[in-house]
C-alpha cells in the first residue's frame, strides 16, 4: 500500500519558487509532511548544479586559453554552444538517480524524491518546443517515469524575469536560492514553456509520456506566496499558512490521481 508520493518532477520557469518550495517542505517535521502533504522524507536532485559546473569549467578553460565547450562567453550572450545540452542534462539527472538508488535501493520506502529542472524556449518559438518538457520528459529513465508525478509552479514569463533579477546575488552564483540567470538566456530559453499544451492533451490532470501517465498538480504562484522563505526563521505564521495551504491543495490532487492510476 502506497503511503506517500514517491517521486515528483518539480518544474517551473526560473525564479518561480521551486527552491523555495523545497526549502519550506524540508523544514516541516517528518510526520506533518507525511500527514498533510503526502510526502516522505526528502531527497532531491537538480540539474542546476551541473549547469553551473559546466559554466565554471568553460570559464576556467577560457582563462587558460582553451576553447569553451558548453557556453558562449558572457560578453557575447552566454548562450549554449550546442542546444542539445538540455538533453545531456536529462541524462545527468538519470545518472544521479541511478547513483542515489544504488546507494539506497529502498529509498522509496521512506522518501519522496524531488527532481528539479526548468525548460522552455523563446517567446515566439512554435510548438512542439525542441527542448521543452515534452521532449525532456521522454529522455527520463523509465524507472523515473514509472514513479513520477509532476508539481508545476505556474508563473508568467514576465514575472519570472522580474523575480530572477531580484534574487540574483553576484557573490553567490552557485546558490540554489540566490543564483540569477543572465538576461540573454532568460530571453532565449524562458520566454515560454509547454506545460499547458501538454496538459491540454490529457488525460485530465495528467501528462502522458509514452506508455506512462503522470499526475500533475499546478501550484499558481503568480501572486507570490514563496518570497518569505528567504527571510530568517522563524517565519510568520500567516506566510507559512498561506503557502502551506496552497501546497496541500495541490499535493492532495496529485495524491488522489495517484490512487486512481
Quick: pLDDT tens for 206-257.
999 999 999 999 999 999 999 999 999 999 999 999 999 999 999 999 999 9
Q: Are 192 and 160 in contact (CB under 8 A)?
A: no
46 beta partners: 116
Pairing of the two strands 212-220 and 111-117: unpaired
Whole-number Å distance between alpha carbons of 181 and 190: 10
pLDDT at 73: 87
To the nearest 10°, the Cα dihedral for 51, 52, 54, 60?
Answer: 170
- Give the residue extent of every domain in the chain: 7-259
Answer yes or no: is pLDDT of 176 > 80. Answer: no
Query: How would you class 151 by CB atoms within 10 Å of its CB: exposed for 0-12, middle for 13-18, buried for 19 or more?
Result: buried
| Neighbouring residues of 158: CB distance < 8 A, sequence distance ≥ 6 | none
Grid cell at residue 58: 568553460
CA 62 from chain centre, in angstroms, equals 30
CA distances in angstroms from 98 to 107, 116, 128, 135, 165, listed in the order given: 11, 16, 29, 21, 35
The residue ranking higher by pLDDT, 2 or 76, is: 2
Mean pLDDT of 103-121: 98
Whole-number Å distance between alpha carbons of 141 and 49: 20
Whole-number Å distance between alpha carbons of 228 and 65: 43
Model pTM greater than 0.75?
yes
Apex 244 CA angle, 249 and 110, nearest 5: 85
Which class in CATH covers the domain with range 7-259?
alpha beta
Mean pLDDT of 113-135: 98
Whole-number Å distance between alpha carbons of 250 and 245: 9
pLDDT at 60: 96
**Cα-flanking dihedrals φ and ψ of residue 14, to 5°?**
-55, 145
18, 37, 207: which is closest to 114 by C-alpha? 18
**Ranges assigned E (strand) in 135-211:** 148-154, 206-209
pLDDT at 231: 94
How does the average pLDDT of the chain come out, rounded? 94
With a pLDDT cut of 90, the percent of the chain lying above it is: 86
212, 187, 183, 184: which is closest to 198 by C-alpha? 212
Amino acid at each position: 500500500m502506497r503511503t506517500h508520493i514517491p517521486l515528483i518532477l518539480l518544474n517551473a520557469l526560473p525564479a518561480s519558487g521551486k527552491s523555495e518550495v523545497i526549502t519550506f517542505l524540508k523544514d516541516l517535521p517528518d510526520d506533518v509532511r507525511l500527514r498533510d502533504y503526502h510526502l516522505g522524507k526528502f531527497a532531491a536532485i537538480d540539474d542546476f548544479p551541473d549547469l553551473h559546473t559546466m559554466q565554471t569549467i568553460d570559464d576556467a578553460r577560457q582563462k587558460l586559453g582553451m576553447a569553451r565547450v558548453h557556453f558562449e562567453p558572457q560578453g557575447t550572450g552566454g548562450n549554449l554552444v550546442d542546444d542539445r545540452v538540455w538533453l545531456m542534462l536529462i541524462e545527468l539527472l538519470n545518472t544521479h538517480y541511478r547513483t542515489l538508488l544504488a546507494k539506497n535501493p529502498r529509498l522509496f520506502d521512506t522518501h519522496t524524491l524531488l527532481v528539479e529542472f526548468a525548460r522552455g524556449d523563446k517567446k515566439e518559438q512554435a510548438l512542439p518546443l525542441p527542448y521543452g518538457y515534452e521532449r525532456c520528459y521522454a529522455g527520463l529513465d523509465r524507472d523515473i517515469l514509472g514513479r513520477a508525478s509532476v508539481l508545476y509552479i505556474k508563473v508568467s514569463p514576465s514575472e519570472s524575469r522580474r523575480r530572477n533579477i531580484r534574487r540574483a546575488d553576484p557573490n553567490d552564483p552557485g546558490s540554489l536560492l540566490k543564483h540569477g540567470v543572465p538576461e540573454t538566456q532568460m530571453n532565449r530559453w524562458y520566454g515560454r514553456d509547454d506545460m499547458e499544451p501538454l496538459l491540454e492533451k490529457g488525460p485530465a490532470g495528467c501528462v502522458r509520456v509514452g506508455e506512462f501517465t503522470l499526475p500533475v498538480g499546478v501550484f499558481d504562484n503568480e501572486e507570490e506566496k514563496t518570497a518569505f522563505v528567504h527571510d530568517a526563521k522563524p517565519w510568520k505564521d500567516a506566510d507559512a499558512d498561506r503557502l502551506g495551504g496552497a501546497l496541500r491543495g495541490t499535493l492532495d490532487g496529485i495524491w488522489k490521481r495517484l490512487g486512481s492510476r
